[in-house]
Amino acid sequence: MKIGIILYSLLVFHGAFEYKSGNPGSLFPWQIAVHDCTSPAVMGTPALLPLADGLLLNSSAGRPYSEEALSTGSLTVQYGYGDYGLQGSWNSFGADFYREHTFSLMGGYSILPFLQAGISGNIYMLKIDTDELSLDEKYADTDIAFIITPFPWISGAFIQKGVISLFSRQNSSVIYPERSAGILLKPGRGFSLAWNITDTAAGKVNTFAATINPAPFFSISGGYCRENSSLAASFGVSAAELLVSYGLRFHPFLGYTHSLGITFALNLQIESLDYGKPLFRRNKKRINIKSASPDDLKEIDGLTALSAERVILYREKIGPVNEKALVQIGLTGEEIKNFESSVYGLERSGNNRGKEKEYKKFRKKAPRRERIKHKFRSLISGGIKAYTAITYSELSESAERELFYRKLNDDSSLTDEQKKFIKTTCSE
Amino acid sequence: MHVKHLISTFIPSALLIAILCPAVLYGNNYELLVKSGVSREVLDYEGDSADLTARGGTSLNLADSFNFNFTALRNIDTGSSSCTWNIAVKNISGSLDFISGNYSLHFGSGLMMGRPSYRSSDPFSKKISIAKDRSISPSNGGNPQYSLFGTAFDLHKIFEDLRIDIIPFYSVQRRFISRDSFDAGAVDSSLFSLNTKLEKSGNNTEPVNIINCGGAFGFNVSDFFCFQAYCFETDLKGDSGKDILWDRDKDYGGGGIDLIRNSGFFAEYADNSIFLFIEPAVSSISSNHTVTDYAMSFGTGIRNSIVNFKLCGKNSGKDFHSEYSSGSRTPERIWETRCAVFPFKFTETGFTVYSEKDLTPAYNRDYTDGSVQEEFFAGIKTETIDISFNLKRKEHYSDSRQDPVERGYLSSGFFLTERTYFKIRTSAQKMSGNISFLYSGEMKIFSPENITISIGYTEIRITGDVPYYAVISPASENSSLTCFKETARGGSINVKYKKERDSFYARFTVIKTGSGFRGDAESAMTLFF
């Protein structure tokens, strides 16, 4: 019953030769203008042939819509060298009493670095042998295709199938002159996205496909057709010069299509993904900032040795490190982010409100170390660099008070205004 | 000792000790947060009505290792009150995290155990809820309806390139059913419906406990690979331990469900440009007989400076059930793909497709519904101007004919001066030949004193009887879409003050429809000490 519906609809509504390819990698059976070429592939359009590299042989077979009586098969020979590419193929689709054969010879040439073109000559053979109808017809037709690649990551493509059918009434009753336009995005190694709009006998169809090659021996493709909500997926596994691929399509009404392909290529290479860095360090043990050694701190991602030393110095000279302190000692935004996610025990900046006033009240009674800390904080908040602030806050509390004034007056790295500020702050 | 007495004596004492002792020990290394506010929110995700809600709460954090949260909530419209609280302690002996009180769990991608979120009835609000998240999160919203209540631990050990986590948990959610159901030992409703019965009301006078227990075992390898296996079970019992069945009317047989067991395995590879995960899971419903079925979630994505591509999906068997899923509890086949391309740094364009197909028909129906949602979007964003445009279409497959809904949206925002931002937006929605429109303008003034004032006007023109879901500009902080069934005009003013982490927010809205005027006010305050 189902096979009858499929073949009847093909003949009456669509015309013959609608089922373009049974190759697993082609995802959909109709013509598309552009598809992924990051792994050795049978080219669906002659304009892609300049991308072929060396010799490729492919054979595939499939069972459309899980229908036992239906089958597809194909054989392809491809050769590419420099700016040229050639491909000869045979495709077959149908059942015992209905069979379509398509012989195709394609040639492609890279006219300019950003422009490729191709042409193909096809012979279509249709054989019907039923009690009511017997037919054995041959048709010849040709296709033309172009691909423009303005940037390495984007290509635009167009293919016109059945150029003769476009003008000849005889051919057009059997072969629908499909045309398709598409965009291929290749934003990174081993990954591509394709969008094609194809004008088929049944109407315009949009297909979206994504190809990801997770490893140099493994490729996955997935696709979606908007108009009939059909989904398709395929994967390929390579070993030495051989690539075995399997494809599965799901049509909401007609069911599943299985296909299997085997490819031999002299230069078989699958362009694999570029893997990135970890999103965040999940396995790093968080460090207690109150007791971390300089070596521990240096293990924090992105924190330089100098910044680690400053953190230690701050902790020794002033006290617990807080968020504000990280800014003061010159850590960048990214360093602070990494720092906060890698440590615990970080003091909160907001908690010191009101403490300053309290401290002033008792600072006269405070020990020398506390007084140095207070002066350092005041200098830092006044815009003095950390190293300079440490030097002068310590000197001001040392026995050699004169050394403090002498060094300050001779310090050429400070402006007069800064010197005045340091003097006032440290004399409090 | 009776459970009620235990709760009334033990918990307050434990809280007092837990708060005061660390506060003394940790000196000034603490952080105290106080928050309060009034807002209009959807509290019951099954319904679609936003209630006026008052919320107040506090949070105490000691040295990043001890955390106490308490939030009380009052639904002003219905007069009901609720609260959530929890105590969380991190890094005990460097390898144990602990939480007690109201909390949420998220295992794997949330297929079996996750945190549900509200989706409005807006035709375009559906989105896939499959993503990795933190395993344990405290629930601080004040509404205990969608959180577990009990204890969870995270025992973790870190080796060179390996982190191992063991997460056991136990939860008892107290709910109320009718005396008749209690005596019969079975309730008609689902657990999800039972979850809403937080207090004694009407016939629902008998306390029962929804008990969840189980755990997860996971490990991360080399910061790239994450594996997690989990299992847990859900049961309903009375205080005395009496078994109560639920979903009495469902087709599982045996007069209701006695126990649900869930288990799954999550495997993920993720770095800063690629992610790939898969999560197979099994649910087993015990009634007179046991019904077991599977589900699987999957996802992959690639992100770099040119493209952001993501594909996620879920497929399940017809008898699969996931009561605590972050998405739907019922069997379904869904997938979503989003592809955004950045031809230049300041531009973005792409598409989103979301497809959904139920696998079991709704009550009294014999057709399984489905829908496909498509979106094309484009945008330009620079420091001074922000233009975004999208076209959406949703087609619904059902035995009752329903026309597709189409919506177009265009917005443009730009800085008039350094401190004045202006935004206009317009949108049109088409369904069954009726076109409804939205026009909106909004101005935002940023004062140097950390105050932002936003004023906006929105007009919605409805044609036909198709409702339009929209917000009155400027949007509320707890923005949930309002359903407009008739032509409306509205104005709103927002005032926001934010200094460091302290903030204050107030919003006043007036809406005029054919039925009259409606006013609304919202506010929120957060203070850190």
Interface of B with A in 154-173 (CB under 8 A): 158-163
**Residue numbers of the domain that contains B309:** 86-326
One domain for residues B525 and B469: yes
Between CA A273 and CA B273 the distance in angstroms is 10
B30 neighbourhood in chain A, CB within 8 Å: 348, 351
Task: Please name the residue that has the structure tokens 């819509």.
Answer: A65
A250 neighbourhood in chain B, CB within 8 Å: none
Interface of B with A in 6-25 (CB under 8 A): none
Between CA B32 and CA B67 the distance in angstroms is 10
CB contact under 8 A, B306 and A187: yes
Pairing of strands B148-158, B516-528: unpaired
Looking at residue A155, its pLDDT comes to 94
B165: nearest CA in chain A? A283
CB contact under 8 A, B222 and A347: no
DSSP structure string for B6-73:
HHHHHHHHHHHHHHHHHHHHHTT-EEEEEEEEEEEE---TTS--PEEEEEEEEEEEETTTEEEEEEEE
State the smallest CA–CA distance between residue A279 and chain B in angstroms. Answer: 5
Tell whether B337 lies on the interface with A, counting CB pairs under 8 A: yes
Residue B309 burial (CB count, 10 A): 22
Between CA A392 and CA A397 the distance in angstroms is 9
CB contact under 8 A, A275 and B274: yes
Of A193, A276, A350, which has the smallest distance from its Cβ to B272's Cβ?
A276
Looking at residue B1, its pLDDT comes to 41
A275 neighbourhood in chain B, CB within 8 Å: 271, 273-274
Q: How many residues comprise chain A? A: 428
Tell whether B226 lies on the interface with A, counting CB pairs under 8 A: yes
One domain for residues B176 and B109: yes
Looking at residue B252, its pLDDT comes to 62
One domain for residues B348 and B367: yes
Pairing of strands B51-62, B434-446: unpaired
B220 neighbourhood in chain A, CB within 8 Å: 282-283
Tell whether B29 lies on the interface with A, counting CB pairs under 8 A: yes
One domain for residues B378 and B506: no
Residue B24 lies in a domain: no
The angle formed by the CA atoms of residues B4, B10 and B12, to the nearest 5 degrees, is 100
One domain for residues B261 and B187: yes
Q: Does residue A356 have a pLDDT over 50?
A: no
Residue B69 lies in a domain: no
A346: nearest CA in chain B? B63
Residue B13 lies in a domain: no
CB contact under 8 A, B302 and A188: yes
Q: Does residue A325 have a pLDDT over 70?
A: yes
8 A C-beta contact, residue B475 and residue B493:
no
State the smallest CA–CA distance between residue A283 and chain B in angstroms. Answer: 5
Phi, psi for residue A27 in degrees, rounded to 5: 60, -60
State what percent of residues in chain A have pLDDT above 90. Answer: 31
Assigned architecture for domain A2-265: Beta Barrel (2.40)
B307: nearest CA in chain A? A187
pLDDT in tens, B184-222: 888 888 888 888 888 888 888 889 999 999 999 999 988
Between CA A28 and CA A233 the distance in angstroms is 9
A222: nearest CA in chain B? B311
Between CA B474 and CA B455 the distance in angstroms is 7
8 A C-beta contact, residue A209 and residue A193:
yes
Top residue of B26, B29, B67, B342 to mutate, by most chain A CBs within 10 Å, is: B29
Q: Bridge-partner residues for B138, per DSSP?
A: B103
pLDDT in tens, A251-294: 888 889 999 999 999 888 898 888 877 766 665 667 777 778 87
Going B118 to B124 to B126 to B128, the CA torsion angle's sign is negative
8 A C-beta contact, residue B240 and residue B183:
no
One domain for residues B398 and B415: no
Tell whether B267 lies on the interface with A, counting CB pairs under 8 A: no
A192 neighbourhood in chain B, CB within 8 Å: none
Q: Does residue A366 have a pLDDT over 90?
A: no
Q: With bands split at pLDDT 50, 70 and 90, how would you rate the model's confidence at A19?
A: confident
CB contact under 8 A, B311 and A346: no
Residue B465 lies in a domain: yes
Residue B257 lies in a domain: yes
Task: Specify which of A168-182, A386-400, B428-442 reaches the highest per-range mean pLDDT.
Answer: B428-442
Of B65, B351, B500, which has the smallest distance from its Cβ to A344's Cβ?
B65
B65 neighbourhood in chain A, CB within 8 Å: 344-345
Tell whether B501 lies on the interface with A, counting CB pairs under 8 A: yes
One domain for residues B178 and B314: yes
One domain for residues B227 and B321: yes
B163 neighbourhood in chain A, CB within 8 Å: 282-283
Q: Bridge-partner residues for B307, per DSSP?
A: B341
Interface of B with A in 438-497 (CB under 8 A): none
CB pairs under 8 A between A and B: 105
A284: nearest CA in chain B? B158
One domain for residues B352 and B298: no
Of A191, A286, A345, which has the smallest distance from its Cβ to B63's Cβ?
A345
Contacts of A69 (CB under 8 A, 6+ apart): A3, A95, A96
Residue B509 lies in a domain: yes
B94 neighbourhood in chain A, CB within 8 Å: 285
Q: Who wins on pLDDT, A323 or A233?
A: A233
Looking at residue A157, its pLDDT comes to 96
A345 neighbourhood in chain B, CB within 8 Å: 63-65
Average pLDDT per block of 10 residues along chain B, 529 residues long = 49 56 58 87 77 89 84 88 91 87 92 85 83 88 89 90 92 91 87 84 88 93 91 91 84 76 94 90 88 92 89 90 85 90 89 86 70 92 90 83 87 90 93 90 88 93 87 77 87 88 88 87 86
CB contact under 8 A, B528 and A286: no
pLDDT in tens, B350-399: 999 999 887 777 666 666 778 889 999 999 998 889 999 999 999 887 76
B276: nearest CA in chain A? A214
Residue B432 lies in a domain: yes
Residues of chain A that touch chain B, judged by Cβ-Cβ distance less than 8 Å: 153-154, 185, 187-188, 191, 193, 208, 210, 212, 214, 222, 224, 226, 229, 273-286, 320, 344-348, 350-352, 355
A346 neighbourhood in chain B, CB within 8 Å: 64
Between CA B70 and CA B65 the distance in angstroms is 17
The angle formed by the CA atoms of residues A112, A115 and A119, to the nearest 5 degrees, is 110
One domain for residues B271 and B322: yes
CB contact under 8 A, B64 and A273: no
Looking at residue A221, its pLDDT comes to 92
8 A C-beta contact, residue A150 and residue A114:
yes
B32: nearest CA in chain A? A351
CB contact under 8 A, B29 and A191: no
Between CA A393 and CA A377 the distance in angstroms is 9
One domain for residues B397 and B411: no
State the smallest CA–CA distance between residue B271 and chain A in angstroms. Answer: 4
Of B162, B220, B306, which has the smallest distance from its Cβ to A153's Cβ?
B306
User: What is this model's ipTM?
Assistant: 0.73
Q: Domain-by-domain residue ranges, chain A?
A: 2-265, 277-349, 354-428
State the smallest CA–CA distance between residue A392 and chain B in angstroms. Answer: 28
Q: With bands split at pLDDT 50, 70 and 90, how would you rate the model's confidence at A91?
A: very high
Between CA B469 and CA B480 the distance in angstroms is 9
Looking at residue A12, its pLDDT comes to 47
Looking at residue A352, its pLDDT comes to 46
Into how many domains does chain B fold? 3
Between CA B85 and CA B73 the distance in angstroms is 11
One domain for residues B101 and B220: yes
Residue B336 lies in a domain: no
Structure tokens at B214: 């189980």
Tell whether B272 lies on the interface with A, counting CB pairs under 8 A: yes
Q: Does residue A299 have a pLDDT over 80?
A: no
A355 neighbourhood in chain B, CB within 8 Å: 28
Of A283, A348, A350, which has the smallest distance from its Cβ to B223's Cβ?
A283
CB contact under 8 A, B341 and A210: no
Top residue of B33, B225, B309 to mutate, by most chain A CBs within 10 Å, is: B309
